[in-house]
Structure 1
Amino acid sequence: MTLFSDLFSEGRLWGRLDDVQHDAGYEDHPPRVGFFTDTSVCIGCKACEVACKEWNDVPEDGYLLTGMSYDNTQALGASTWRHVAFVEKPLDVAVTDLGMPSVGAPAGEEQAGGDQATPSGADGVRWLMSSDVCKHCTHAACLDVCPTGALFRTEFGTVVVQPDVCNGCGYCVPACPYGVIDLRKEDGRAFKCTLCYDRLKEGQKPACAQACPTESIQFGELSELRERADLRLAELHDKGVDVARLYGRDPEDGVGGDGAFFLLLDEPEVYGLPPDPVVTTRDLGTIWKHVGAAAVTLAGLGVASFWGRRR
């Protein structure tokens, strides 16, 4: 079993931002890859969910319509590695800030991101749709806490669970700042998106990106995806979509940037994402130093007490 102190001595916790593969022990490796999901063109077709389940043989979730939403999977989990969120919001003044027409707007008015504006009824409803997935963090707390090595960093910079090594301890579940990892009830093991590691090794796109009809899910080298995302954000801002923002793109954020990041049309909380995620193992180094100092202090006090009694 690898101890946290060993991880620090090996430099595996809170490594470098630019080369996570090298930090994981890969001397020669391909460029880091990931996903850029542009939610402004997501149409909620769920082709990515279906492709993910079919390729990875992920069990079905059941048909869970609640009467409140068309979102039948509702959240990421051990049997939902891709989740298309349907967020229904009333059309209001804020919607016109997106460049989308409110109910009764003149025909032909420009609709930046208009795929996600769907008037319905007298008041109208705006559907925000986004295909969520594991973020494959630069600083992945799940890797830090796994005692068996079931979670590992691949040569592509992605994070994968090996089900045959997982002992079901569940430490990775609370460690994830996004609530992505889940234990499957049938056998107690952890499962999540692998970014189709088997396909990557064959030079193929992940199944979800291959199936996406609008290219909302874009796969490629992470550095190129970040450049592409910056251009897309600037394009939307030029069109007056001032609320558009990138989420998980910044390498200086609390997880060192995500290997799967997003362009959003509202606050992260609206999509069920934490506004300021922080890797949960960030302070482990300081904690272990304090533990060591406390242990030395207690040992010293014990020795002093022992000799004091003998005198």
Structure 2
Amino acid sequence: MDPNHVSGPEPDPARSAGHPDPPERVGFFTDTSVCIGCKACEVACKEWNAIPDDGMQLSGMSYDNTQGLGASTWRHVAFIEQKVPEPEGRTQLSLLDTTRTTDPSREQPGDMRWLMSSDVCKHCTHAACLDVCPTGSLFRTEFGTVVVQEDICNGCGYCVPACPYGVIEQRPHDGRAFKCTMCYDRLGAGQEPACAKACPTQSIQFGPLDELRERAALRVDQLHEQGVEKAHLYGHDPQDGVGGDGAFFLLLDQPEVYGLPPDPVVTTRDLPAMWKHAGAAALSLAGGIALAFTLTSRSKGGR
């Protein structure tokens, strides 16, 4: 097994965070094969969470008018232009086919295509942002999700480099960190997140995480049977470097094409060992000082 991977049974992050009787863990399954790039999820997210606009500038990435995930964009749909690879890459649908019925024979190697990537915070099982937050602003909810409390955040920024996906960002005017909450307020009221509610193609699916994983595996099998050979899941494996994501994806190309790290690892994985070594070093130092003091005292007493 990869030494970066988390071994053992899958933990219950909500229970581990101190919730004694948490409900079933929920999450997102984003099927990029049926995303049409309408950005309804982005709009719904901003509207429900009262997120300010972030300039709406054309990014240079095709017709994408948002730069990426950040403090003021908690859902981001990227338009990724590429040539259809040879030959196993005949996997993506025409952008104009809004029904998204997969037919690998419709595209030929060398044709231009768009891969749609609706990205979001991964709500990691082992979340490094939680480990490094000094104020408790970041916390694990009873649903297993990770939320930032903006009124407690002191703007230290430790969570920004800790995230292996580069999701968290600070707003420039006050330095506080923001990211997707998976609409925590809606979950508490028994509603699904705004982005999933607004998605017209069910590209964004919300529900119990175990059920979503089963559904996603069946979808990959279906695509493989239809000749979509490169279809695969990303972030679904509880044995990966972050213990599995609470928001995972079906991709039609390598993760790097979508701007995702190929093998993400929780950045604080070595903290327990580091504290253990630091403690051992401190005890050794204290012992050395005590021994030196004792020898010095004996030396003086023998004069």
* TM-score, with length taken from structure 2: 0.88
1:151-162 to 2 correspondence within 5 Å?
A: 151-162=138-149
Which residue pairs with 2:4 in the alignment?
A: none
Answer whether contact 1:40 1:113 (CA < 8 A) is retained.
no
- Shift, 1:99, TM fit: 7.2
What is the CA–CA distance in structure 2 between the aligned matches of 1:249 and 1:48, rounded to whole Å? Answer: 21
- Render the CA deviation track for 1:35-91: whole Å, top value 9, x for unaligned: 000000111110000000000000101121144421221211000100101111023
Which residue pairs with 1:132 in the alignment?
A: 119
Runs of 4+ with deviation above 4 angstroms: none
Residue 90 of structure 1 is aligned with which of 83, 87, 99?
83
Q: Does 1:276 align with 2:269?
A: no
Identity %: 69
Structure 1 residues 289, 236: CA separation in 2 closer, same or farther (over 3 Å shift)? Answer: same
1:183-222 to 2 correspondence within 5 Å?
A: 183-222=170-209
- Shift, 1:305, TM fit: 2.8
Gaps of 5+ in 2: 1-6, 95-100
Which residue pairs with 1:111 in the alignment?
A: 103
Which residue pairs with 1:267 in the alignment?
A: 254
- Shift, 1:138, TM fit: 0.5
What SS class does the counterpart of residue 227 from structure 2 fall into?
A: coil
Which residue pairs with 2:54 in the alignment?
A: 61
- Render the CA deviation track for 1:102-150: whole Å, top value 9, x for unaligned: xxxxxxx961597xx7x9xxx6411111110000011111111111111
What SS class does the counterpart of residue 93 from structure 1 fall into?
A: coil
RMSD over equivalenced CA pairs, Å: 2.2
Which residue pairs with 2:97 in the alignment?
A: none
Answer whether contact 2:154 2:176 (CA < 8 A) is retained.
yes
* TM-score, with length taken from structure 1: 0.86
1:1-311 to 2 correspondence within 5 Å?
A: 17-94=10-87, 97-98=90-91, 111-112=103-104, 124-310=111-297, 311=299
Structure 1 residues 93, 186: CA separation in 2 closer, same or farther (over 3 Å shift)? Answer: same
What SS class does the counterpart of residue 139 from structure 2 fall into?
A: strand
Which residue pairs with 2:98 in the alignment?
A: none
Gaps of 5+ in 1: 1-13, 102-108
Structure 1 residues 258, 99: CA separation in 2 closer, same or farther (over 3 Å shift)? Answer: closer
Answer whether contact 1:33 1:219 (CA < 8 A) is retained.
yes
What is the CA–CA distance in structure 1 between the aligned matches of 2:237 and 2:84, rounded to whole Å? Answer: 30
Amino acid at match of 1:245: H
Amino acid at match of 2:25: R
Question: Aligned pair count?
Answer: 285
What is the CA–CA distance in structure 2 between the aligned matches of 1:239 and 1:217, rounded to whole Å? Answer: 21
